[in-house]
Amino acid sequence: MTRFNLLLYAGSVYAVPLAANNVTNTTCASGGNGPALPFIDPTGKIALLWTSIGLAVLTSFWQGLITTIVAVAEDQSMWTFRFRIARYEHWWWTVVSTMLFISFGLIVISFLSGNNNDSLGVLTLSTATAIAIVRYALPAWRNRLYTELRWLAWTGKSRTGIPAEFGRFCGQKADWMHILDLRRGARFARTPSDEWGWAIRPPKGMWQNPTALLQGFDEKTLIREIGTDGRLGLCVYDDGYQKDQVSLLWGESEGFRRRVSRAVNSMPSTLLNSYPSTYDGFNGTGLCLAMGILGRNKGLAPFALVFDVHDSRKDAKGIVRDDLTRQVSTELEATSAWFPRPNKVMRSYYRKVMEDQYSGLGAEYIAAAVELALIFLDCPPQVTKRWLSLDLEHQSIKLNQVMSDRPLRVLRTPATSAQLQTLYRASYASMILSINYFDQDQHHVDDSRRPDLICFALLWLAEGGTAPAWWGDKWSGQG
């Protein structure tokens, strides 16, 4: 982008003295050796030349301004703003290309009308126009689906740990608005990555993080101000862990503004570009999308999530495959909706990046991260967009509500803590299966495409569990 700006600026600056020279020599500009259009008078020649130069200078100014804004956003880690405006880069480059093309057309007509000293200006503008179209506008249009997916992958709903005592107060949008309106002693601190940036129509919604909204209050205050029925709020997962925290799922439906996950601060810089790549130069689009999702859906115990791609759990239980050559990754590739999964050859390169990023979370977490990233390379962008729009990257909150007997008491015997833990631990396997076998012709708008209950059952039985008391109830589909 910098080289393009320099070229355009140099052409504009060089053309100005030529224009001044042509103004003083209008009467003789069309004589002699060059071409001359008979229907353009001297005043028209001057107007054509200066209009061309004015458009080029204006384009150079605005392009330099946008380039500076982008550079400042990236340098100051304003990733919500950066990812948001990146969604419109293809339109911006279309405007730039159009203005340059018009400027180029005018200077060509000016040259043909007799302003023969404009030959270098014609060459400069033709080069700048060609570069704008071929090098920037066309690639931006081809990349527009990725920048939209990146926005969705990084700004969707997030799971955040909050103190367990607050879990009963986290419900509908109105509850959060009430909490926001409560009197508090300190102001909210902004994080650079949360900054929305300049907008003609600023979005509605709370920009504050939910943990910041709850900070400074105690259980008694919230009971007095909001009230509670004693059960966990509908946007809180009951994962069965007896800890000091519970897992809150929050986003636009709870009244919050979209913002890039703060996990972006740990991302390699090469993966944050509009055309991401690994340090080795390999395509990084799958990595960036997967890391955006993994930064939002971990839950309270990511090290406990199960994705037994290496069969280590099966080996420990004495479970042996009939065909030892058919590993989990092989089965996923051979039976995938996106078969033959041509980007499976990237597995070793993607594993290297994921191991550097998530080494502290264990081999199974890394395996799930690699598989998710590879699937995104092969899955059509329109399908990925639809998958994200259905919030299928998250453990099913509806199933968790039912198993923990919320909000209606539909179970004779609610799920035990161990069963709820198993449901959570199987959620990454369910996520991988959901996107790997996504049915494009199925038009459901709920989270029925996540096989959370099936994955729970398989893991529960594999670890020695017996059929739960609620397994035969009508809601489970087994009754």
Pair 154, 83: CB distance under 8 Å? yes
Least confident residue range of 78-92, 300-314, 357-371: 300-314
**Residue range 452-457: mean pLDDT, rounded:** 94
Least confident residue range of 54-58, 291-295, 421-425: 54-58
The C-alpha torsion from 81 through 82 and 86 to 92, rounded to 10°, is 80
Provide the residue ranges of all domains of the chain, joining segments of one domain with +: 2-142, 155-261, 263-476
Q: Which residue has the higher pLDDT, 156 or 411?
A: 156
Q: What is the CA radius of gyration of the chain?
A: 29
Q: What is the DSSP string of 354-381?
A: HHHHHGGG-HHHHHHHHHHHHHHHHS-H
d(CA 76, CA 107): 40
Mean pLDDT of all residues belonging to the chain: 85
Least confident residue range of 128-137, 226-235, 245-254: 226-235
d(CA 347, CA 281): 15
Confidence of residue 32 (pLDDT cuts 50, 70, 90): very low
Confidence of residue 31 (pLDDT cuts 50, 70, 90): very low
Q: Which residue has the higher pLDDT, 346 or 449?
A: 346
Q: Which residue has the higher pLDDT, 51 or 85?
A: 85
Asked if residue 399 has pLDDT above 60, the reply is yes
Asked if residue 427 has pLDDT above 90, the reply is yes
